[in-house]
Amino acid sequence: MTKQEIEKKVELIKEISGCDPYKCMKCGKCSGSCPSFNEMDVKPHQFASYIINGDIESLVGSQSLWKCLTCLACIERCPRNVQPGKLIDAARQLVERERGGDHLLADDIPELIDDDVPQQLLVSAYRRYRR
Amino acid sequence: MKYSYYPGCTLKNKAADLDLYARKCAEILGFELEEINEWQCCGGVYPLGSDEIATKLSSVRALNDAKEHGQDLVTLCSACHHVLKRVNDDMKNVSDISDRANNYLALDEPYRGETKVLHFLEVLRDVIGFDELAKKVTNPLTGKKIGAYYGCLVLRPGKILEFDDPENPKIMEDFIRALGAEPVVFPYRNECCGAYTSLKEGGISQERTKLIFDSSNGFGADMLITACPLCMYNLNKSEADSKIPVYYFTELLAEALGAKEGNS
Amino acid sequence: MQRIGVFVCHCGTNIAATVDVKKVVELVRFEPGVVFADDYMYMCSEAGQEKIGEAIKEHGLTGLVICSCSPRMHEKTFRACAEKAGLNPYMVEIANIREQCSWIHKDREEATEKAVILARAAIAKVNLNAPLQEGESPVTKRALVIGGGIAGIQTALDIADAGYQVDIVEREPSIGGRMSQFDKTFPTLDCASCILTPKMVEVNQHPNITLYTYSEVEGVSGYVGNFDVQIRKKARSVDMAACTGCGECQAKCPLGKSGKIPSEFDRGLRGRSAIYMPFAQAVPAVPVIDRENCTYFKTGKCGICAKICPSKAVNYEQEDEIVTVKYGAIVVATGFDIINLDKYGEYAYNESPDVITSIELERLMNASGPTGGHLERMSDHKQPKDIVFIQCVGSRCDDERGKPYCSKVCCMYTAKHAMLIKDHWPDTNITVFYIDVRTPGKNFDEFYRRAVEQYHVNYVKGQVGKVIPQPDGSLMVQAVDMLDNKQIMKKTDMVVLAAAIEPNKGVRKIATMLTASIDNNDFLTEAHAKLRPVESPTAGIFLSGMAQGPKDIPETVSQAGAAAVKVVGLLAKDKLKTNPCTAKCDPMFCNGCSTCANVCPYGAITYEDQLVRGPGVNETRRVAVVNNALCQGCGACTTSCPSGAMDLQGFSNRQITTEVDSICR
């Protein structure tokens, strides 16, 4: 990515999330709260610094985008109102808004579901994994 | 007392019990749930992106419908409750979203978050009152030790949902007490069940639900109640040794009010 | 016509970098009344002041306009400079072209234009200034200290030792405050009681100190040097003179053993009797009856304490008493408490008795505490083998649950706790979850390092997300080790929370009574953060201890001494100069409507019947009269007066409208 592209994406993440990564004091309460911590390669307490340092490539390429459960625990508990969950969600949307960014294909669904799957699961997964 | 009612997709299908028992109980408790005309799916997930409008419009239509009927809007499903309350907050307090949504919808009168959104449990707590509910119980669930599993969507973010203390809620415990049973407080009651990830990778929800069952079972619960069809699904799919039965809260309510037998 | 000199200061580059100072001089030269204008690098310096003095004499100046910093900074300086050169100090006006101009603007042209406008307004005002004479008021040579913790105790002792009378008003039944609850103090590990109780006794015995315990300030009127304070002495239900402090009543009170009344002193970790002294070393050693909980007061039955008291000191009929005392100065030393943790459900403070606050830990480790100094879990009375400390609970927060500031003392007291526990029970495993370890202070970092290097306390950088009580009675701590990038699930026996400190709840009420300002966090504000740190902006009000901001005991004691010196400096004066910029009523226009008296915050306005004579008027009627000694010149009356009869000397309605006119010109 060029410097301009990075800057543009940083701005976009800030805009989509409505969050200010500079408010982060690196306390780690988000990572201390996250139920998906062990699944993530970039950890919740690192989201803000990745954005501040412009390491967007690593962030949007990270598995963490798809491991966040949107349980909002980090958002509820963040003492600085940084809301890391919103930052990673913005990065995910950045990916999904680009062509080919979908993480779930309609054709795959029949194989994934069983008789008990509630509609809520399907619509949620659709929202989370696809534009 | 009449409320506008937003059932949501799942309650029309896989979670029909949640809906059916709620309607029956409402009748016994003296209020009516009037289903909104032609409601559309809320999307299940609140769009966290602050620039998304289209995904919020179905909620706004439902909210506006309730406004036009001059009624508060009642929900049962945790996800619908979550999405509708948050979109309503946007319409009331975030002028950018509110303006753009109104421009798009071109309603007769702009919608600015006038409708009050209530979870069915909030109606029980704030309108009926748990003391009054207890008086209507004909079949008290005496001796049952019930863990209230809240999950995430019904509680957080606390500041916007204003449902209960997100870290230490008690509305469902009070509800359980009103039904004559004994609530079992356990620390995983507001921890995530794995949510939507169970569609593609069951591992996370297996791990999460095991923690939930270990904790609730460990503290002596015989069963769990929930308001969320997705939590219900993930909990039911759990392979944990400590697994205990899970019910929708309305099913136990119906049982306590004597509305379950012969009708279900 | 005035002869006005205008002096424009560069303030180094503070002003000159943004404002074209020379241009300002050139443009104001032609304003009405101006006969001289000049600029200088530092107007407030000795050379700058000499320049002003010379110009006054040389050009026969009758008024000065200084274009410089805020009047809060140097108005006094320039008034003194004018007076030295024979000019009435109230003929000086300041145009603030620094804080209100150069500091907040970037565009040089715009800033210069604004500086000229501000100067023009000040010039227009000086044209209407008249010399004013300061009055004098006497000084009551007695000080009041509100709060009897270590801050109040030290302030009172220092004032009393200097030879002045001082009274302490303390809300609780005993003086001693928070420090009396502590076990040991950092970094020397002195026993808190051993260094505090002698001071408490000294206060009690000092001939110059009067103690009002179980008492509260009820009302304050007056002004610097002449405050009238109403003190409510709450009914103790025990005759102070007769009681010998034998303690029989407490021992026999049937509620004592019930545990129904939580002891405030022991932070609810044990119960107390209804007739009680907060702790054994209480000063005065006289109990009080907690009437809300006492069986006799609730039902009329019992009365055991009165029956068994050997000196017949118990008196159920006693009533609150209000005394009014005159003071020259008041010190606010109301101290602190920790924040309520109800909103921090994730730490399970309300759910688990084994999650405690640091102050509770102080009580648990104190030999006079509920466990006799033996550290044990409140749930099963077992000694914890593993303890987790969580730092910054509610400190450094930008949300509604916590406080935005660093509480300053937690890092040090946690290191202290860890070492004391390790000293007594070396096998205990201790983990401290921290965000940053902050230890500025003499011998402080060495102290913290000792905890790590000598005692092997495990410091982990990372915050705890949740404390999860386990069915087996232990606690699971879910946290992160940010340096290891790992989530930690740590099983422990006890969790200690370093809860944020906050000013004592009552301070808001007291600040309002004193018209002393407080900040967004309810800490009292200083007159100047750096140069007047122990004075309130309200004259005659001084600050001591945590009421002003987070600080430890050595700092509190230093500040207490500083506040005492300021008080003594005030009480040493026989007379105080009074502000001549007071309100004045023109009886011709006053119709006695009472509006001004209703808005006056100082009670400076009364009414009297006066003979009013003028064109077409010759009658006796009710008109407003201002007491110049009480009036602080706030101007509330002048803006509320419907007939324009009230005017403020030095800031007359005409002067202010002229200023506005000149700005809008």
Pairing of strands C646-648, C605-614: unpaired
CA nearest neighbour of C514 among C283, C307, C276, C222: C222
Q: Give me the mean pLDDT over the C209-218 stretch.
A: 98
Handedness of CA C643, C645, C648, C652 (dihedral sign): positive
- What is the percentage of chain B residues whose pLDDT exceeds 90? 90
Chain B residues whose CB is inside 8 A of the C491 CB are none
Contact criterion met (CB < 8 Å) for C398 and A81? yes
Average the pLDDT over each of A97-106, B187-196, C223-232 and give the range with the smallest value.
Answer: A97-106
Residue C491 in contact with partner chain B when CB distance is under 8 A: no
Q: pLDDT class for A129, splitting at 50, 70, 90? A: confident
Residue A110 in contact with partner chain B when CB distance is under 8 A: no
Give the chain A residue nearest B12 (alpha carbons).
A119
What is the residue-wise DSSP string for C126-164? HTT------EEEE--SEEEEE--SHHHHHHHHHHHHTT-
| CA of A69 vs chain B CAs: smallest distance (Å) | 6
* More reliable by pLDDT, B48 or C93: C93
Residues 6+ apart with CB under 8 A from C69: C9, C11, C14, C94, C96, C98, C99
Quick one: pLDDT at residue C98? 97
- CA–CA dist B40, B7 (Å, integer): 10
Q: Give me the mean pLDDT over the C97-109 stretch.
A: 96
- CA–CA dist C150, B264 (Å, integer): 70
Amino acid identity of residue B8, one-letter, is G
Place of tokens 């009014």: C324
Report the CATH fold assignment for B130-256. Answer: Rossmann fold (3.40.50)
Provide the b/e sequence for A46-82 (b: ≥16 CB within 10 Å): bbbebbeeebbeebbebebbbbbbbbbbbbbbbbbeb
- CA–CA dist C640, B246 (Å, integer): 68
Give the chain A residue nearest C345 (alpha carbons).
A77
Q: pLDDT class for B262, splitting at 50, 70, 90? A: low
Please say if the pLDDT value at position C475 is more than 80: yes
- CA–CA dist C416, C446 (Å, integer): 12
Average the pLDDT over each of A120-129, C10-19, C222-231, C302-311 and give the range with the smallest value.
Answer: A120-129
Please say if the pLDDT value at position B82 is more than 60: yes
- CA–CA dist C48, C41 (Å, integer): 8
Residue A49 in contact with partner chain C when CB distance is under 8 A: no
Q: Give me the mean pLDDT over the C6-15 stretch.
A: 97
3-state secondary structure of C55: helix
Which residues partner with C9 through β-bridges? C40
**Helical H segments across chain B, by residue range:** 16-29, 57-68, 78-93, 95-105, 120-122, 130-136, 158-161, 171-178, 202-218, 229-236, 249-256
Please state which CATH number belongs to domain C337-502.
3.50.50.60
Q: What are the tens digits of pLDDT across the range C389-407?
A: 999 999 999 999 999 999 9
Please say if the pLDDT value at position B218 is more than 80: yes
Question: Please, which residues 324-363 of chain C have a Cβ atom closer than 8 Å to chain B?
Answer: 343-346, 348, 350-351
Residue A17 in contact with partner chain B when CB distance is under 8 A: yes
| CA of A108 vs chain C CAs: smallest distance (Å) | 33
Query: Using an 8 Å Cβ cutoff, are A59 and A42 in contact?
Result: yes
* Phi, psi angles (nearest 5°) of residue C91: -95, 10
How confident is the prediction for chain A on average, in pLDDT? Answer: 92
Contact criterion met (CB < 8 Å) for A23 and C398? yes
**Helical H segments across C30-104, by residue range:** 46-59, 71-84
Residue intervals of chain B classified under CATH 1.20.1050.140 are 2-120
Pairing of strands B73-75, B2-6: parallel
Please say if the pLDDT value at position C156 is more than 90: yes
- CA–CA dist B113, B60 (Å, integer): 9
* More reliable by pLDDT, C184 or A110: C184
CB pairs under 8 A between A and B: 124
- CA–CA dist B67, C307 (Å, integer): 69
Quick one: pLDDT at residue C665? 84
Give the ipTM of the model, two decimals please.
0.95
3-class secondary structure per residue, C439-461: CCCCCHHHHHHHHHHCCCCEEEE
Query: Using an 8 Å Cβ cutoff, are C463 and C476 in contact?
Result: no
Residue C500 in contact with partner chain A when CB distance is under 8 A: no
Q: Among partner residues B167, B185, B220, which is closest to C346 by beta-carbon distance?
A: B167
Quick one: pLDDT at residue C338? 97
Query: Using an 8 Å Cβ cutoff, are C479 and C487 in contact?
Result: yes
Q: pLDDT class for A127, splitting at 50, 70, 90? A: confident
Contact criterion met (CB < 8 Å) for A17 and B167? no
Say what the pTM is: 0.91
Quick one: pLDDT at residue A108? 87
CATH ID of C583-648, from 3.40.50.880, 1.10.3760.10, 3.30.70.3270, 3.30.565.10: 3.30.70.3270
Query: Which CATH architecture is the domain C4-126 placed in?
Result: 3-Layer(aba) Sandwich (3.40)
CA nearest neighbour of A44 among A104, A89, A13: A89
Please say if the pLDDT value at position B264 is more than 60: no
Q: Give me the mean pLDDT over the B221-229 stretch.
A: 97
What is the residue-wise DSSP string for A30-76? HHHH-TTGGG-SS-HHHHHHHHHTT-HHHHHTSTHHHH-----HHHH
| CA of B170 vs chain A CAs: smallest distance (Å) | 18
Q: How many CA atoms lie within 13 A of C650 on its CB side?
A: 20
* More reliable by pLDDT, A78 or B51: A78
What is the residue-wise DSSP string for C532-595? BTTB-SSTTEEE-GGGTS---HHHHHHHHHHHHHHHHHHHT-SEEEE-S--EEE-TTT-----H
Please say if the pLDDT value at position A100 is more than 80: no
Contact criterion met (CB < 8 Å) for C463 and A38? no
Supply the Cα-derived Rg of chain A in whole angstroms: 15
Amino acid identity of residue B27, one-letter, is E
Query: Which CATH architecture is the domain B2-120 placed in?
Result: Up-down Bundle (1.20)
Chains that touch B (3 or more CB pairs under 8 A): A, C
* Phi, psi angles (nearest 5°) of residue C561: -65, -40
CATH ID of C142-233+320-335+524-571, from 3.40.190.10, 3.50.50.60, 3.10.105.10, 3.20.20.140: 3.50.50.60
Chain C residues whose CB is inside 8 A of the A19 CB are none
Class of residue C619 by CB neighbours under 10 A (exposed 0-12, middle 13-18, buried 19+): exposed
Residue A86 in contact with partner chain C when CB distance is under 8 A: no
Contact criterion met (CB < 8 Å) for C345 and B166? yes
Chain B residues whose CB is inside 8 A of the C344 CB are 167
Domains C142-233+320-335+524-571 and C337-502 share a fold: yes
Query: Using an 8 Å Cβ cutoff, are C190 and C368 in contact?
Result: no
Q: What are the tens digits of pLDDT across the range C556-586?
A: 999 999 999 999 999 999 999 888 999 999 9
Residue intervals of chain B classified under CATH 3.40.50.1860 are 130-256
Q: Give me the mean pLDDT over the A97-105 stretch.
A: 79
Contact criterion met (CB < 8 Å) for C487 and A26? no
Contact criterion met (CB < 8 Å) for A32 and C479? yes
Quick one: pLDDT at residue B263? 45
Ordered by start, the domain boundaries in chain C are 4-126, 142-233+320-335+524-571, 235-318, 337-502, 583-648
Please say if the pLDDT value at position C72 is more than 90: no
